[in-house]
Structures are given as structure tokens and as C-alpha cells.
Structure 1
Amino acid sequence: MTENKNPFSNLEAKFKTVDNKASKAPKEKKPIDYKKYTKSFIAIFLVFVLFIIALANIYVVKEGEFKVIRQFGEIKDIKQNPGIHMKIPFVQSVTTVPKYQMNYNISEAEINTKDKRRIIIDNYAVWRVVNPKEMISSAGTLVGAGSRMEEFIYSVVRSELGQLEYSEIINDENSSRGSLNDQITNHVNELLKKDNYGIEVIDVRIKRTDLPLENEQSVYNEMISERQSIAQKFLSTGDADKRRIEAETDREVREMLASANKEASVIAAEGDAEAAKIYNQSFSKDPEFYSLYRTLESYKKTIGSETMIIIPSDSPYANILSGYLE
């Protein structure tokens, strides 16, 4: 006889297991001891802060620049060789000053020339910093140094161009214009060096020279008149040269013709003499033949298609013409 199995026996066993687990008391967790890790946290934090401070106080010197290190506002050192350096935190500060050449556009200004003309000059300068400490001590900043340089350039340009006439300034063929820029550059550098500005001007160039609007028309008219006068002078000189060359050519032609005529006369005389000599020799050999030849030659010149000659019938000339030679 088989035993009857309970179909819910498995479920009852599971519920009993769950009840047994729930009846057991939970274990208490131990509290975290933060004091144990406090020193480690502080050490890591201090290392991190020191790393940030060190990283913030590292600076790099690049090609073409100065690094000015200040300590409480006073210039302590200047670095110009490329490399990595470090400054003292919270005490020193670093600023950059360019070492390469820079362009500076100078403001337009009106000046008076030697002949009392007012012109507008537009310049530019190429410059660089050679001593950052002197530049900062004298001008403070690059902007201040540029302003002082502009004042010196304006003063020197006004002085130099004030000694030249307007035509000398605008005439590109004037050789003094080429050295004028060098003179201005040298003079400006002398003034900057004298006052210890720590900057150097490489070159000063005049970009443009214009006239004030109220003077343009009068100057243009004067220039036109001057060019017309020069053109007329060239034309007069050309006409004079033309007449001189024609006179010399006519004289040379006359001399050549006279020489040629003289040589032709000499040659003709020599030919006539030679012909006469030959005629004389021929006549002396056979006078009758020569007389006949000369008579026949005269017929060519005196007798034509419609020539009428009236001569005695018994004349020798008529006999030869009639064919009687005896």
C-alpha cells in the first residue's frame, strides 16, 4: 500500500526556512573610524595643493621674449634664454616683454618745409626692446615706450624735413631722400639711448607725404607750370641742337661735294689729256683717216632726220657727204 504524498510539502519547507531566518537577530555593524584615515587625507590634500601651487608658479621662457620677474613690484631678474623656470609663490610675479622686432604706425602730422609749405607726413617705425629693465623703469609699459618713441620721431622728422624744400621731399630722384630715413633713425636712437629707454629703432620710413586740402590745387598748378617750363626748355634745347646738326651736316655735304667735284675735274682733265694724246698719235699715223673720222663724227651732230644744209657742191664737206672721197 503506497503512502499519500502532500503536494504542498515543498512550499511548507520553504516557508519554514524563511521564518527561521527572520527569527534570528541581525548582527550589529562596526562604526567607521574616520580618525584612522584623517592624517592620510590631510597628507594627500597637502600634496595636491603643493602640486597645484608648484604648477602655477612654473613659467616657460620662449624664443623671442623676455621674462621679467618682479618681487613685491621690484624687478628681481630677467630671463631671456629659452627654458623652464620657477618663481617663488605668492612673492614673485612674471610678465612677458617681446624681444622680436615690432612695427609701430606713427600718427599723421603736419609740418612746415623750408619753403613754408605745410605737408602731412605719415611714418612707420620698426623697433625692438633691448633692455627690458630700462624700458620698464623709464616708460613703464610697451605702450608708454611706443608713445615716447613716437614723440621723438615726430620731433626729429619735423626738424629734418624743415630744412628741405617741398620739391626735394616729394622728388623721388633726389638722392638726399634715400639717406633722410637713416638720418632720422640715427638721431632718434641717440635720443632714446641718452634717456635710457631701453629700446632701439631699427628703421623709420616715410610712407606718404600729402598736402592739406586747401593747398593741393595751388601746388598742382605750380607743378604743372614748372613741368611746362621744363618741357619748353627741352624743346628749345632740341631745336637748337637740330639747327646746329643741320648746319654741320650742310657744311659737311658742301665740303664733300666740293672735294668730289675737284677730284672729278682732275680725273676729267686727265681723261681729256689722255684722249688728246691718243688723238694726236692717231692723227700723226694717218692724217687723212683722222680727218675723215672727224668729219663723219661731225655729221652725227649736225645732220638729223629733218636737217637742211646749204653748202657749195664742190666743198670737201659736200664731197664726202656725197660719197666722193678723192
Structure 2
Amino acid sequence: MADNNNPFSNLEAKFKTVENKPKKEKVPVDFKKHYKSFITIFLAFIVIVIALANVYVVKEGDYKIIRQFGEVIGVKYEPGVYMKIPFVQSVTTIPKYQMNYKLSEKEINTKDKRRIIIDNYAVWRVVNPKEMIKSAGSLVNASARMEEFIYSVVRSELGQLEYNDIINDENSSRGSLNDKITAEVNEHLRKDKYGIEVVDVRIKRIDLPEENEQSVYNEMISERQKIAQKFLSTGDADKRRIEAETDRKVKEMLATAKKEAAIIEAEGEAEAAKIYNLSFSKDPEFYSLYRTLESYKKTIGADTMIIIPSASPYARILSGYLE
């Protein structure tokens, strides 16, 4: 019977009831009965892990090379999700996009026996992965072989040009050199079936060996000075020719003007004489007087001394006697 004065009497009664109950014996798990289920679950897990480990994805910019016991049996070109055979097949990736390749600096000789150092770069890509693997084995070997072809073609092409033709961008002989080198390199790669293509080959820099730089620079300066002197000489010759031509034209124009002026003057004098004759014929005495007065103007100046008889008509007119 619970004690009303004890607040924990109910709990104590419950604990006593639990303690008085008979304990149940634990039944051991029978693993033999469930081992098949465990094995099934484990095998399913292993299969899922192996399946996931052998799934591969082909991206837009990749080729996937399928090898079986080391031998190439296929290439996946299209993007998607694929699966390979576990433990038998392996998958490697080759880029489909364009790649840049910096070539090693090489020294070559020009047609005029100048030594120059060429620094090139190439843009290339894989177009046939099977051929590339069969011929080169790897991207590293393929790019090395491509570099050999590029160097051979560059050395051959620049060896046919003189140094000034190579460095002078205005010279038309170098106009399509890069395109020509690219076409020839691709021809060699196609012939040997390397499965790669060169998109572009460019000459990035042309340098001189250090021991030749100063002498070449001095020669370039001398050459430019010769060209400048040639332009100056040509300019002076043109100047003298233009001045002589201008002087000749001026003389011709002056001669023509003088001739025309003389003709006009003669015509004017003739017309004036005609008018004089017409006018003076009406009064011959007045004309004689006018001519005498005109002669005075030409013969008598500020310091002129004339000794003539005072009774002469010339002196009489000069003295004012007209009769």
C-alpha cells in the first residue's frame, strides 16, 4: 500500500514490480541462416562499384580511345556516356580541340650565308586518333615529329631567301611564306599518316647570333644610308630638272609676251602715225612747228648748250619768233 506522505512511493512500487519479473534469456543470432542474404548484398555492392568504375563520359572536345589488352579496338567520337568491359578494356583521352605548340629555337643559314635564329610556333590538332597512335604512339611523340617536319621545311624555304628578303616585311617574296610552310608540313604528315593536322605555322621572331648582331646592324645602317642618299640624289636631280623646265617655260613665256607686245606696239605706232598723218596733212605748217618743238624736247635738257646762228629758223622759233 502506497504511503501518501512519500511522493516517490509510486515509483518505488514500479521498480519493485520490474525487479520481481522473470528475466528473458537472449537468443543468439543464427548467421548461418542469413549468410546467403549477406553474400547477395555484398556481391550486388561489388557489381555496382565495378559498373560505376567502368562508366566513362565522352565530352565535346575529346576523343576516347578504347584499348583491349593494350591494343586499340575503337574510338568514341560522339559525346555521351559509355561503359567499358571491366579488367579487359582501358580508356584514354586525346583532345579534339586545337593546341598550341612552341617550337625550339633553331639556327639556319640564309641564301646569302647569313646565320639566323628562328623562333616558331604552331597550331595543330588530332584528326585521326587511330593513325596518330599507330604512327606516333602518343601526343608527345606526334608533336615531336611535327616539330621535325616544321624545322625541315622552314630551313628549306628560308634557305632559298636572302637575309634582307626575310626581315623586310614589305618584300613580296615573303608574302605567303607561312602558308607555304603550313601546306608543306601537312603534306608530309598526310603522306606518313600521322593522323594530325597543322592549322597554322608562324615565325614569331627572327634573331641573329650574338657574334653577328653588331656587324649586321652596321651593314643595315650602311644600306639604309645608301638608300637615303639615293633618294636625296634623285630628289636633287628632279629639283634641277623642274627648275630648268620652269626657267625654260618662263623664258618662252617672256619671249612670247615681248613678241606680242612688240607687235601690239608696232600696230599702235602705225595707227598713231596714220592718225598723225591724217591730222597733220590738214595743216602742214602746224605739223612742221610741232615736229620742231618735239625735237627741242629731245635735244635740249637742263645742262644742254646749243650754239647756232641767231638768224636761223631753229633759233628764231626757240626764241619765240614764229614769223
TM-score interval, smaller chain: 0.7 to 0.9
User: Which amino acid counterpart does residue 81 of structure 2 have in structure 1?
Assistant: I
Within-5 A mapping of 1:99-118: 99-118=96-115
Within-5 A mapping of 1:43-122: 43-122=40-119
Q: What is the aligned length?
A: 321
Shift of 1:133: 0.8
Shift of 1:323: 5.7
Corresponding position of 2:129: 132
Corresponding position of 2:200: 203
Corresponding position of 2:25: 28
Instruction: Indicate the larger mover: 256-265 or 18-27.
Output: 18-27
Within-5 A mapping of 1:2-21: 18-21=15-18
Instruction: Indicate the larger mover: 51-60 or 111-120.
Output: 51-60
Name the CA distance, whole Å, in 1 between partners of 2:198 and 2:6: 107
Corresponding position of 2:219: 222
Name the CA distance, whole Å, in 2 between partners of 1:186 and 1:13: 103
* 1:187 aligned onto 2:184: yes
Shift of 1:175: 1.2
Name the CA distance, whole Å, in 2 between partners of 1:216 and 1:12: 112
User: Which amino acid counterpart does residue 23 of structure 2 have in structure 1?
Assistant: P
Name the CA distance, whole Å, in 2 between partners of 1:40 and 1:216: 84
Mark the CA change 1:273 to 1:181 in structure 2 (over 3 Å): closer, same or farther.
same
Within-5 A mapping of 1:226-305: 226-295=223-292, 297=294
1:123-148 Cα deviation digits (max 9, x unpaired): 11111111111111111111111111
Name the CA distance, whole Å, in 2 between partners of 1:63 and 1:236: 65
Instruction: Indicate the larger mover: 264-273 or 53-62.
Output: 53-62
Mark the CA change 1:279 to 1:23 in structure 2 (over 3 Å): closer, same or farther.
same
Name the CA distance, whole Å, in 2 between partners of 1:101 and 1:10: 88
Shift of 1:51: 2.5
User: Which amino acid counterpart does residue 58 of structure 2 have in structure 1?
Assistant: V
Mark the CA change 1:229 to 1:21 in structure 2 (over 3 Å): closer, same or farther.
closer
1:148-200 Cα deviation digits (max 9, x unpaired): 11111112222222222222222222212122222222222222222211111
1:189-228 Cα deviation digits (max 9, x unpaired): 2222222111111221111111111111222222222222
Mark the CA change 1:9 to 1:181 in structure 2 (over 3 Å): closer, same or farther.
closer
Mark the CA change 1:10 to 1:174 in structure 2 (over 3 Å): closer, same or farther.
closer
Relative to the length of structure 2, the TM-score reads 0.86
Shift of 1:88: 1.4
Relative to the length of structure 1, the TM-score reads 0.86
- Partner SS for 1:140: coil
- Partner SS for 1:111: strand
User: Which amino acid counterpart does residue 262 of structure 1 have in structure 2?
Assistant: K
Corresponding position of 1:150: 147
Shift of 1:102: 1.2
Name the CA distance, whole Å, in 2 between partners of 1:8 and 1:240: 141
User: Which amino acid counterpart does residue 178 of structure 1 have in structure 2?
Assistant: G
User: Match for 2:175 among 173, 178, 186?
Assistant: 178
Structure 1: state its 5+ residue gaps.
Answer: 1-5
Name the CA distance, whole Å, in 1 between partners of 2:235 and 2:12: 137
1:19-42 Cα deviation digits (max 9, x unpaired): 444233223344445555544444
User: Which amino acid counterpart does residue 149 of structure 1 have in structure 2?
Assistant: M
User: Which amino acid counterpart does residue 145 of structure 1 have in structure 2?
Assistant: A
- Partner SS for 1:285: coil
Mark the CA change 1:79 to 1:13 in structure 2 (over 3 Å): closer, same or farther.
closer
Mark the CA change 1:301 to 1:141 in structure 2 (over 3 Å): closer, same or farther.
same
- Partner SS for 1:85: strand
